[in-house]
Structure formats: C-alpha cells, structure tokens
Chain A
Amino acid sequence: MPARDAVTPPPLHRATLDNGLRVVVAPDTGRSAAPVVGVAVYYDVGFRSEPEGRTGFAHLFEHLMFQGSARVGKMEHPRLVQGAGGTMNGSTHPDFTNYFQVVPSNALELTLWLEADRMRSPAVTDENLANQVAVVQNEIRVNVMNRPYGGFPWILLPPVAFDSFANAHNGYGDFSELESSSVADAEDFFRRFYAPGNAVLAIAGDTDPEAALALVLKHFGDIPARRTPKRPSFAEPPLTAARRAEHLDPMATAPAVAIGWRAPDPAKQRQLHLATVVLAELLAEGDASRLIQRLVLRDRSAISVEAYLGTFGDPFEQRDPALLTVTAVHPSAVPVDTVLAAIQDEVDRIARDGVPADELARVHARLRAQLLRQVDQVLARTLQLAMFEQQHGRGELVWELPDLLTAVTPDDVRAAAARLAADSASVLVLQAGAAA
C-alpha cells in the first residue's frame, strides 16, 4: 500500500536523437501547476575530467558557453531568456556541467533554440576568454580568498583524502593556469566533451510532451553526431591508514575540522549508499540529529556541525569515489581532538548499538518531506530529473527516492556506520588565524 503522503510520478517521455542526444520530458500532472517550464542540459563532463595543467577549465568553459554562439551574440542568451520572463544559470560539478533555464511556458521553444545553438557551435574569442578569466578570478576571490572558511572543505579536503589529480585538485583552478588558457583549449574541450551524445536534455513542468519532443527534434536534430568520450573511472585504492593535514585560515575566528570517509559506490553498493544518505541525515540534519544533539546542544564543543555525501552535498550526483564528509566549526577553547573523538564516538555508537526504530521513523519522515519540498520547485525538479537520467539512467528516481530511502532499515544504517572507522578517515584541520 502506498504511503498516505506518496506522490504520483508523471509518466516520463523519452527520446534519443540520431546524434545521440538523450531527451527526457516530465510534464506536470498537478491540478494547480504554474505555467512555467524548466529546461536543463547536462554534459557528462565535470572538473574531474579536466586535464592536468588546466585546473578550473571545466568551470571556465561553463562561463564561455554564455558568451554567445553561431547565431547568438554576447549577452544575447541571458537577454532573451530573462526578457521572456525567465531565469538561467549554469554550474560545474565533479562529474557534469549543467545549463538551465526556468521560463514561462510560451518561451520553451526559444530556450531550446538557444541551447541547441550553443551545443552546435559556441563562439569563443580571445577577448571573451580574457574577460571571463577575470570574472572567474573575481568569483574565486569572493567565494574563497576574501572570506573566512573559503573553500572549506570542498577545495581543502580532497587533496587529503585522494591521491589522483582528478580527485584531489581544486576545481576552481589555479590563477596562472586560468590565465594561460587559450581559445584552442576551449575548442579542444568542446570537441571532446560537448558532443550531443554526451548530453542529456531534460524538460519538466507545464508542457505537452509530444509537442516538446517535436521541438527538440526540430532544433537539436541536425546537430552533427560526434564521438562520445568514454566515461572514465576515477577509482582509487581504499585508504589503509588515517590521514591528517592542517590549513591556516587567516580570517577565521573559530577553528574547524572536516572528516572525509570514502562513501559506498552508488552504482555497485546501492543499498549501502542509500543507507549512508540516511545516516548523514541522522547524524546532522536538524536539532534532533545525533551530532547536533551531542556536540552543539549538549557538550557545546561545536558551534555548527554538518554531514553530507558528495562534494556539493548532493548524494546522487557524483560517481565513485566520493566522500561522506562531516564538518564542525568549534570554539577555540575546545581542542580539535575532543571534537574528532566525539564525532567518532557517535558514529561508533550507531555501528555498535544500531538505531531505534522510532528515531529512524522520524528521520524518514523528515527526509521524505524535504525531498517532496524539492520536487515542488520546478527548477529543482528539472535539475534532479536530468541528473538522475544522466548519472543513474533513471529520471523516475526523482519521485521514487522518498520510498527508496524510507525502505532503509536500522541494520542498513548500522552497516553504513560500521564502515566509518577512525583508521580510514581523512582529516583536515582548519586553524583560526583570527582567533581572539
């Protein structure tokens, strides 16, 4: 029997064009849906695929995709989308780069035309490249260099936890490597990774699926097929000993620590991966969670605690290897080893004693509600649809996930916790340079 709070997934409509582009459409079925539609294009290349000596290039290239294309001038893409009443953006992740719009439903075809034009032939010039290198450098200044806890832990922890260039390097990139990038690099990157067969196009919201697929064919159909790159493995051998590094943050007033454990492979250890998602929620989502109760509210050894899977906190968007990360910002008066010991103690307690059924039921309820809340937003729904279709081959997971996570048992959670041993942890200690 379905849960009382189940949602009916819309029937998904799919097509694969001759050039290899995969398309998935999720029309609204709701009775009071808004007249808006989301469009997302996911290219199966992220910063883990960028070449050595070109750190930050996947992200820089994302910026270049907004600089115009064969029939679209500089700034014309944002002007047309926003001028139709919509919003747009893009983002670069470890394993994919996405481009997305949410528009009133009358602008669907215009949006598809714009995405098709840049999938066919982006226009990169020396001038636009130099301009966007400067813009990206300012993005890095504002998000990393000029603020406390900049890059903590997403840039700082991977070089502790991983050895390969792909997994360890800084996806925002080195300033000098950004500056030495050329138009030829961009053309090469586009040719290798932006083939239609390496992309998924998702459409969700107020749309007729047959009409939407016809428009996709009309605008993307004649983009020439190109060789699709082989999806690489980024696997690394498991850690055999604990690792630890320190980083001095001159602007931080309170020290912090991040612990990374290798997470289960979502493709090969699916149930354990789902259990680790539930475990992260149980550890640090909401004031009732184990680590917030223990460290923040009871011991007061931490100011804030977070736990999540994947570099940017989406447990499903990253292929193996990825980390389960626990971070804590803590008062200077509390030694970092006290914080680490308390976190490990709570994890070990779950591995040893398991989780009471009533606690797990509360965690399930909260997870379920938060996932539904995401599904209610057309942009989040579109992005998740594209991500699940591309990374897991099943867009339906957007709607199936609440039930899958609710099916995680106390034993599953215990097994997930048992993997988090102190001797396989990578620890990054952030020292507070501005501590009083």
Chain B
Amino acid sequence: MSPKRSALRSAALPPRPALGPAPKIAVPTVAERTLGSGLRVAAVRRRGVPLVEIRLRVPFAGTAKSHLARSAVLGESFFTGTASHDAQQLAEAIQGLGGSLGASTDADRLAVGGSALAENLRPLLELLASTVTGNTYPADEVAGERDRVAEEVAIARTTPSALADEAVSHRLFGRHPYGRDLPTVTEVAAVTAGSLRTLHAQQVSPVGALLVIVGDVAPTRALDLAAQTFADWTAHARTPVTLPPVPAFVPGGIALVDRPGSVQTSLRVVAPAPPRDDPSYAALSLVNTVFAGYFSSRLVANIREDKGYTYSPHAGIMHADLASYLAVTADVATEVTAPALVETRYEMAKIAAAPVTQDELDAAGRYLVGTLALSTASQAGLASTLARLLDAGFDATWLRSHPAALGRVTVDSAHEAAQRWLAPAAAGTVLVGDAERIRRSVSALDTVDVVQVN
C-alpha cells in the first residue's frame, strides 16, 4: 500500500468520538424497619430477573485466642443442622428454592449471603431464621467441617497470596485480633461442637445485626416477611463484643517471610488509611487510583507495561470496623524483587512529592463513579454494596454523596492526601519469597526482619 493511499484512507476515518454527558445514576429507594429484637432490615425492589438476594451481617468479634478457629468452623457448619432439619435436608431445601446460602466470618462479623427465585423469599428467610435461632451443630457434622477447614488452612499456608495476607495483617495490627486471618491447624483441630454452640448462643444475636433484601419483591412485603420469619430471634439478644483499639502503626522496614523455591515474590506495601467518613477519604481514593488503583495507573504503566516485572499490580483501600488501610500488591519475578520495590516506592514518593494533573484526577474520578454505578447494577451487586454501606453506618445516599465528594477534590487536596497517606515513609513492606535469593538485594533498601507466619 502506498503512503499516499494510506494517508487518504486514514483521513476518511471518523475521529475519536467525544464523550457525551455521563448518564445519571439512580440511587435506590431503601425501605427500612428495625425489629423489636434490634435486627435492622433494609429492602430494595430491583427488577430485571425474578430473583431475590439476601445478606445477613451479625457482629462477631472476639478477643479469645480460640475465636479465630472457632468462628472459621462455625461459618462452615452454619447449615449442618437444626431441630427440624439435618444437613442433607437443609441442603436439599436450599437447592429446591433455586437457592444458595453460605456463611463466612471475619474479625468483625458473621456474614451470610444467599439468593433464590423471588417467589421463594419466604421459605428462604424461614430457612435462614431457623439456623440463626435453632442451629444444633451436630457433633459428627462439626467434626467433618473441622477436618475440612484444617485441610484448607494447610493449603492456604502454602499459597503465596494467603501467606502474604496473613503477613500483612500481622504487620499492620500485630497482636490485635485483626492481626490474624488464618488459624493454625492445631487451633482448628481443637474446635468442638460444644464450643460452637456456646459461641453461637453468645454472639449470634440480633443486636446490631443487619438483613438486606434486594430483588423482584415489593419492599413492604420483604420487610413484613423478615419481621414474621425472624420474630423468634429475640431470646438470643446480647450486646456485641467490642474489640480494643488497633495499635499505632510503626512505619518502615521490610518484613520478609521466607518461602524457599518461590519463583516470585509477593510484594506488599501497606499503610494506614482514613475511614470512609474522613474528610480526606475522597481525595485519597482519587489519588490512590492515579497511583495504582486501576489499570491506567502510574504503577501499572511503570512496573508492568514498561518493565514487565509483574502481571497485575494494584493498590486498594480496605475497611474494617476499627481500622482502614491501604495495600499495594504486586507479585514480581524473584530476580527483580529489589528493583520492583524501588519502583513501587518511587511512584509513592513521586505522587506524595508532586501534585497529579487535573486530567489524571478527572479520569480517576470518572472511573470511580462509573465503577460504583456498575457495582450496584445487578441485584447481587446492589445487595452486597448496600449491606457493606449500611453496616458501616452510611445510608444509600452515600451512592450520591460520595461521587459528589469526589467531584469536589482539587489537585491541591489530592496532593495533601497523597503526602499524608501515600508517602513511602508512612508505609511498611512485606515480602513473601525466597529469602536466600532476595535478602541481600533488598537489604540495600531497608532494614529486613525475617518473620514467621504463625
């Protein structure tokens, strides 16, 4: 093809289209009722498909050393027996509703998620209520779940991402209950059915609990059904356990977890972050997005698209009840561990030292607003997003007020947030990798402590 023809052809091609005005995002109307027991119920009608999603969140913190293992097994055993149903009957009943129900626990709460054909909302709620009020934790079922959790814990302990999560929690929170995600196999092996019954009686309480219902169901009907089916959940009312405050974070240093033979190093840089209602939160969300919060970020451009050190570097802000933190994540080839850490710290230093451009800020803002809208576009997404928001003390108007707050962030306020929260001097580093191959090179960058994951 001659250059002339080529030029003619490209001249005829339509230019890059401009973006029209962004569509308005509808904030869902939430119907709410707090039952006499303290259980708060929120319902949203969302049509689309004839399904319904439910999310139950129950405060579930604990200070005992045994709490982590017990709550892990309790989550797995949550649907293994009630007075009227054995494990198989429960499973078949859920299946017959076109449903799913699953429970999990973290340091703050027990979370149950489920869904079913919309016409089956009542039996779905009845099933869930029957487990909340009448779980029997049959000894044989609990023994099976306990052994399975122990095997899964053993697998996690050879999985780099799980090891890195564990090391990060410990680096951030030390001996606080937030400092551990993974129980030991020995702790799991010690869990008994009796200890789960006690834990359930003490902590599966409607006080401070939240039930969210989203789907093709009229909200008043959903609230009425919840009130009827959970009417018996009163005898168990207890005040939730409060954890002590998290310890002050001491920045600096590299915590190195030795994983001999590792062909990659799981690199994590962590620092405290503000909670969602902090005045600097919107600004940090934006500047973190520019730094490493999406594919179009500076860190991805540097250590992936320029240097090829890693596949998917990312930085995100995480929230627990008592602490928020920022974590930079990159799994890098072992031989480039030190240079990858240098570049990560460089990008943090750079964004803390000099303001981002208005264009960078605008793009990050549109991304955050757009993906927030996407996260609430499906019934399941809206249920999960709403449950997290309401449980953290916000209401659905956050879906409007947060984008507005993002819109008010300026280059200067973003710079202030970066200086305060993204400075490498305010962060700590965790590496999970082959210590023999990486220790010497990273020792040139910082003090290195070889640490054990418990």
Give A contacts to B, CB under 8 Å.
4-7, 30-36, 70-71, 74-75, 78-80, 82-88, 102-107, 109-110, 113, 130-139, 141-142, 145-149, 206, 218-219, 222, 250-254, 286-288, 293, 296-297, 300, 303, 329, 331, 361-363, 365-366, 368-370, 372-373, 375-378, 434, 436
Contact = CB atoms under 8 A, between A and B. Distances in A.
A33 B79 CA distance: 34
Interface string B94-108: 111111100000000
Contact of A376 (B49, B144, B331, B374): B49
Contacts of B307: 131, 134
A296 B261 CA distance: 32
B158 interface: yes
Given A85-B371, A286-B100, A36 B377 contact: yes
B296 interface: yes
* Most chain B CB within a 10 A radius of its CB, from A75, A131, A136: A75
27 contacts: A5-B118, A32-B48, A34-B26, A75-B296, A75-B301, A78-B294, A78-B295, A84-B370, A86-B374, A104-B373, A110-B17, A110-B19, A113-B16, A113-B17, A130-B308, A148-B159, A222-B13, A250-B261, A287-B79, A288-B94, A297-B87, A363-B95, A368-B98, A368-B117, A375-B49, A376-B48, A378-B374
A4 B158 CA distance: 48
B141 to A, nearest CB: 8
Given A35-B25, A104-B373, A372 B50 contact: yes
10 closest A-B pairs (Cβ-Cβ)? Answer: A85-B370, A134-B308, A369-B98, A35-B23, A83-B363, A287-B91, A34-B377, A288-B91, A365-B98, A109-B17
Contacts of B65: none
Interface in B74-111: 79, 87-88, 90-92, 94-100
Contacts of B366: 83-85
Nearest to A31: B47
B380 interface: yes
A299 to B, nearest CB: 10
B331 A131 contact: no
Given A5-B118, A147-B160, A376-B379, A85 B49 contact: no
Nearest to A130: B308
B148 A296 contact: yes
Interface residues of B, number: 88
Contacts of B87: 287, 297
A355 to B, nearest CB: 13
Contacts of A206: 23
B119 A4 contact: yes
Nearest to B294: A82
B311 A106 contact: no
B50 A5 contact: yes
Nearest to B331: A142
B2 to A, nearest CB: 15
Given A113-B17, A222-B12, A252-B158, A137 B95 contact: no
A5 B100 CA distance: 17
B354 interface: no
Query: Which applies to chain B's interface (DSSP): helix, strand, loop or mixed?
Result: mixed
B46 A105 contact: no
B23 A106 contact: yes
Nearest to A88: B295
A286 B23 contact: no
Contacts of A145: 263-264
Contacts of B21: 106
Contacts of B95: 286, 288, 362-363, 365-366
Given A141-B331, A254-B154, A110 B296 contact: no
Contacts of B312: 139, 142
Contacts of B151: 253-254, 303, 329, 331
B367 A71 contact: no
Contacts of B117: 5, 365, 368-369, 372
Nearest to A150: B159
B88 A293 contact: yes
Contacts of A147: 159-161
A227 B48 CA distance: 41
B367 A303 contact: no
B72 interface: no
Contact of B331 (A5, A146, A297, A369): A146
B258 to A, nearest CB: 14
A134 B305 CA distance: 10
Contact of A141 (B79, B263, B363): B263
A176 to B, nearest CB: 16
B51 A369 contact: yes
A191 to B, nearest CB: 14
B91 A138 contact: no
Interface in B41-84: 45-51, 79
Contacts of A88: 295
Given A148-B159, A368-B117, A373 B308 contact: no
A434 B158 CA distance: 8
A219 B307 CA distance: 33
A278 to B, nearest CB: 13
B363 A82 contact: yes
Contact of A288 (B88, B261, B305): B88
Interface in B320-334: 331-333
Interface string B292-313: 0011100001001111111110
B144 to A, nearest CB: 5
A130 B19 CA distance: 34
Contacts of B79: 287
B310 A35 contact: no
Contacts of A135: 304-305, 308, 310-311
